[in-house]
Amino acid sequence: MVVGEFAEHRELIIIGGGPGGYNAAIRAAQLGIQVTVIEQDQLGGTCLNRGCIPSKVFSHAAQQVASVADFQSFGICVGTPAVDFAQLISYKDQIIQRLRSGVENLCQANKVEIIRGRANFINDNRIGVELGHRFELFDFNQAIIATGSTAVMPSTIGENDRILVGHTVYELNEVPEELIVYGSDAYALEVACSFHKLGSAVSMVLDNKDFSFDHTINRELRRVLKKDKIKVYRGYQLEKVSSDSNYVQVGLLKNNQKEISLSGTHLYMATALQPATTSLELNRLGVKCSDHGFIQVDKQLRTSVPSIFAIGDVTGGTFSATKAMKQGKVAAEIIAGKPSEVDLTMMPTIVRSVPPIATVGLTEEEAKEQGFQVKTSQFSYSGNSYTMISNQKSGVAKVIKDNNSDLLLGVHTIGANAIELIGSGIIALEMAGRDEDLRFPLYPHPSYNEILLEAMEGLSDSAIHMKPVESQLEKSK
Ligand SMILES: Cc1cc2nc3c(=O)[nH]c(=O)nc-3n(C[C@H](O)[C@H](O)[C@H](O)COP(=O)(O)OP(=O)(O)OC[C@H]3O[C@@H](n4cnc5c(N)ncnc54)[C@H](O)[C@@H]3O)c2cc1C
Ligand SMILES: NC(=O)c1ccc[n+]([C@@H]2O[C@H](COP(=O)([O-])OP(=O)(O)OC[C@H]3O[C@@H](n4cnc5c(N)ncnc54)[C@H](O)[C@@H]3O)[C@@H](O)[C@H]2O)c1
């Protein structure tokens, strides 16, 4: 390997061009900083190339397949939908390519320098970059580590192309005939719903008794999964997995006793994640990390080494692009000398299942545990005129407030357009809104927005399209 003799100087170096890295880069450039991003693979990182974007192409296709069943009601005649998987993959690749070019163009327009190579630290002001057969050195004033995470497959599972994780499941070239999904998180649920609609026979195995949503959402989810004939096994631990070139066999334990065995053509496994730091030589810096190796940061994304910041999956906690992007912008602002910080309290959870789920804030159970005097209200999708028109009657929106202060604590929705609806909930919670703040505005009619309005009105027993509760009838006597 040819090693460069002199170290070139850069103001800010960002290692990793995923959503965390490129958001940090563009914000820093906007604030007048000279920025260099070092990326060993593709700009856009996991999210754009293997995660958020490909998974959403699949879930959108699944939603489209589901909606064909409604066409007949509108007098639109089409046959039974058939999925051309090769075309879907080609579409996914086109979307990734287009979005990636968009990120490249934005970086160029903001004069962000992109270096293609693998970076590692020499010391707390110097980075080495492997560029094919060359090794270049760069000094920097500040660096941001944005290298993401990788899935850890338990060593007992063994390797087989039929055993899939988040980073590989959307790279399949065929629709699995029989897919076993092991896990109860957002990723697993999305995999189950998407592949089910695309033609797989799906069984879901939950390691927990239920999903981790509010119990009202869990109940509606249980109903729709049952209606959709997705078989769900609850509270099972994975005991063993064996596989050959055609099948995967899974042994499951419940309370360490009853064993059942499932077999399918493919298995999706929810896995733990580890920080992508092995190639960085962090030991040369003395950056403080958690027991699992995630880099510890404060609310301004500073690590224990003053010249080094870290953002995104590599900092552990919640693994999401939403978080990585926000942290990227905040780190850049801090480096530019602006006051800024990250607060993840009102981080939404979204799942593009069929139907989708979107939640923000506390569940009813969490609010009670935290000692709030809780009042809840829920409005069923079937009571809304636009869900009736569009034949999307499955779903419910639930809102939770503190009865002492009237402050909103949580908004939870399952049903069509849930993810688009949650925006108002996020803003309301972030602005410390009360239910009256959300009852006051004018909501367009007829529209899905009115689902949230009616749920809010329900908190003061004043929803128009909800039957009166017993206590109200008593009062009016
Ligand atoms: C299937 C799936 C679906 C998902 N869906 C969603 C979703 O809907 N919503 C959501 O918010 N999140 C979602 N996520 C999570 C999201 O993708 C990640 O949280 C996000 O990509 C993390 O961003 P990041 O910038 O921290 O890291 P990454 O996106 O992983 O980017 C890190 C980059 O650093 C580069 N790199 C690593 N080491 C080096 C090195 N030494 N030198 C140079 N470059 C290096 C890598 O090549 C990579 O490009 C999903 C993930 C998966 C797998
Ligand atoms: N809709 C989605 O598919 C999706 C996917 C990922 C993240 N998100 C967002 O991430 C946030 C956190 O999600 P969470 O509440 O499930 O908590 P989390 O990020 O802490 O993850 C919980 C579990 O999800 C699994 N997981 C995490 N990252 C994964 C990955 N890259 N590939 C496969 N499995 C992975 C792991 O089993 C993990 O233990 C939420 O805000 C959610 O909106 C959504």
Is 438 annotated in a binding site? The answer is: no
Neighbours of 296 (CB within 10 A): 14
Q: Where are the beta strands (DSSP E) in 67-194?
A: 113-116, 118-123, 126-131, 134-145, 149-152, 163-164, 178-182
Strand-pairing partners, residue 77, are none
- CA–centroid distance, residue 44 to ligand 1 (Å): 8
Domain boundaries, the chain: 2-151+274-335, 154-270, 355-470
The CA R_g of the chain, rounded to the nearest whole Å, is 25
Superfamily classification of domain 154-270: FAD/NAD(P)-binding domain (3.50.50.60)
Q: What's the rounded mean pLDDT across residues 19-24?
A: 98
**Which CATH number describes the domain made up of 2-151+274-335?**
3.50.50.60
- Give the angle subtended at the CA of 316 by the CAs of 169 and 207, to the nearest 5°: 55
Measured in Å, residue 189 CA sits from the centre of ligand 2 at 10
Taking a C-beta distance cutoff of 8 angstroms, is the pair 294, 152 a contact? Answer: no
Q: In b/e form, how buried is each residue of 221-254, taking b as 16+ CB within 10 angstroms? A: beebbeebebebbeebebeebebeeebbebebee
pTM for this predicted structure? 0.93
**Which pLDDT band, with edges at 50, 70 and 90, does 231 fall under?**
very high
pLDDT in tens, 157-214: 878 999 999 989 999 999 999 999 999 999 999 999 999 999 999 999 998 999 999 9
Ligand in nearest proximity to the CA of 353 = 2
* Nearest Cα residue to 383 out of 335, 472, 299, 448: 448
Ligand 2 contact, 187 CB (< 6 A):
yes
| CATH class assigned to 355-470 | alpha beta
Whether ipTM tops 0.85, in short, is yes
Whether 313 shows a pLDDT value over 70: the answer reads: yes
Give the number of C-alpha atoms closer than 13 A to the C-alpha of residue 14, restricted to the C-beta side. Answer: 34
User: Which strand (E) or helix (H) includes residue 21?
Assistant: helix 19-30
Closest atom of ligand 2 relative to the 352 alpha carbon? 1
445 is catalytic: yes
Q: Do domains 2-151+274-335 and 355-470 have the same CATH topology?
A: no
DSSP 391-439: T---EEEEEEEETTT-BEEEEEEEETTHHHHHHHHHHHHHTT-BHHHHH
Q: Does 351 sit in the ligand 2 pocket, CB within 6 Å?
A: yes
What is the 318 CA–ligand 2 centroid distance (Å)?
7
Q: Which two tokens stand for residue 205?
A: 């195995």
Helix (H) or strand (E) holding 5: strand 2-15
Least distant ligand from the CA of 149: 1
Q: Which residue has the tokens 């055609």?
A: 246
